[in-house]
Structure 1
Amino acid sequence: MSDTPEVQQPPAAMTVLAQFIRDFSFENPRAPNSLRVEARPEVDLGVEMSAKGRSDGLFEVDLKLSVKAATSDGPMFAVELVYGGLFQLGNIPEELVEPTLLVECPRYLFPFARRIVADASSDGGFSPPFFIDPIDFGTLYMQQKAGQLGQPAAGQA
C-alpha cells in the first residue's frame, strides 16, 4: 500500500459552445411541376465531416450534407448544407481526439442538420418532407481512415 493519495483525472468531456449554418442552398428548379410528381424520387446523399483546431484550443467541426432528389422526369430538389459546431474538448486522450471530432461531434450535430434539410424540403413544397435516415458516423470515419491508407474508401455515404 502506498502513502501517496491517488490522483483522479477529471472525466473526458466534449462541450458544444455554438452551432451554426455555415453554408446553405436549396434548389427546386422545376417548381411547381416537380411538386406534382407521383413517382418516388431517387435520392443521392453525400456526407462529409471535417474538423480543424483553432489557436484558442477550441475545434470547429463541419458536417456537410448534399441531397439531390430526381425522378425520370428530371430533378426535384437539391440541398447543400454545411452545419458547423464549435467544440471544447477536455481530458480526452490524444489518440481519441480525432475520432471524437469526426464521429461524436458530427453525431451531435446531425439531428439539427437533418431538421434543416427536412424543413427546407417542406418549405419548398414537398410533402412529406425529406428526412435523412440516421447515419453511422463511426463507419464513415473508418472508411475515411481506410481511404487515407490507400484503400478504396471515401468519407462519403
Structure 2
Amino acid sequence: MTDNSNTPDFNPDTAPRFGLNAQYTKDLSFEHPMAPRSFSMSGAPQISVNVGTQAERVNDSLFEVVLRILCEAKHGEETAFVVDLYYAGLFTLANVPQEHVEPLLLVEAPRLLFPFARRIVADVTRDGGMPPLMLDPIDFLQQYQRSKEAEAAQQNLA
C-alpha cells in the first residue's frame, strides 16, 4: 500500500471522498392479497420487477440515495403478492469533480445498496409465505446510460 501522506502535493482536505455513512429501510410494503388461495395454486406466478434510483442533497457534502424496488407477482389477472421497498443510504461526497457526482450517486451508490435491498426482498417474500424472491443483479451503469439517452431524446423533441 502506498502512503500518500508523504507525497508533497497530497492534501487530505482536498482529496476526493466518496463514502457510505448509513443505510436504512425508508419504506417497505408487502401485500399478499391472494392468501390463502395462492398456496394451493399450481404454476409459478408472472413476476415483474422495476428498479429506480434517486438522489437528493442533504447538505454540502451529504446525499441521500434511494433505491426503489417494486416487485409484483400475478397469477393471470390476479395479484399474488407485491413488494415495494425504498432502501436508502447516506453518502458523503467531497472534492469530487462535478461531472462525476451524478454517476457516483446514480450508479455506484445503488450498486453498494443493492445487495442489502435484495436480501430484504428475499426475506419479506419468504416471511410472507412465498418462496424467497432472489433478484438478479442489476447493471446500474446501463440503467443510468439509458436514462441519459432518454433525457437527450426528450430534449431533442422539445
**TM-score category, normalised to shorter length:** 0.7 to 0.9
Q: Deviations over 1:81-133 (max 9, x none)?
A: 11011000133221111000000000000011111111110000012x11111
The alpha carbon displacement at 1:144 in A equals 0.9
Q: State the superposition RMSD in angstroms.
A: 1.7
Q: Which of 19, 22, 26 lines up with 2:26 in the alignment?
A: 22
Contact 2:61/2:94 (<8 A) preserved: no
Q: What corresponds to 2:46 in structure 1?
A: 42
Among candidates 119, 134, 137, match of residue 137 of structure 2: 134
2:65 to 61, 65, 69: 61
Contact 2:54/2:67 (8 A) holds in 1: yes
SS at structure 2 position matched to 1:35: helix
Distance 1:73 1:35 in 2: 17
Aligned partners of 1:36, 1:21: CA distance in 2, in Å? 32
Gaps in structure 2 of 5+ consecutive residues = 1-6
Deviation at 1:9, TM superposition (A): 5.7
TM-score by length of 1: 0.86
Q: Return the offset for 1:8.
A: 3.2
* 2:152 corresponds to 1:149: yes
Q: What are the Cα deviations for residues 15-41 of structure 1, in whole angstroms up to 9, with x where unaligned?
A: 111111111100000101112323121
More helix by share: 2
SS of structure 2 residue aligned to 1:121? helix
The one-letter code of the counterpart of 1:65 is: I
Q: Residue 125 of structure 1 aligns to which amino acid in structure 2?
A: G
Q: Given residue 148 of structure 2, which amino acid in structure 1 is its aligned partner? A: K
* SS in structure 1 at match of 2:153: coil
The TM-score, its normalising length taken from structure 2, stands at: 0.85
- Paired with 2:117 and 2:93, the residues of 1 have a C-alpha distance of 22
Matching residue of 2:76? 72
Stretches (4+) displaced over 6 A:
none
Q: How does 1:105-124 map to 2 (within 5 A)?
A: 105-124=109-128
Report SS of the residue matched to 1:149: helix
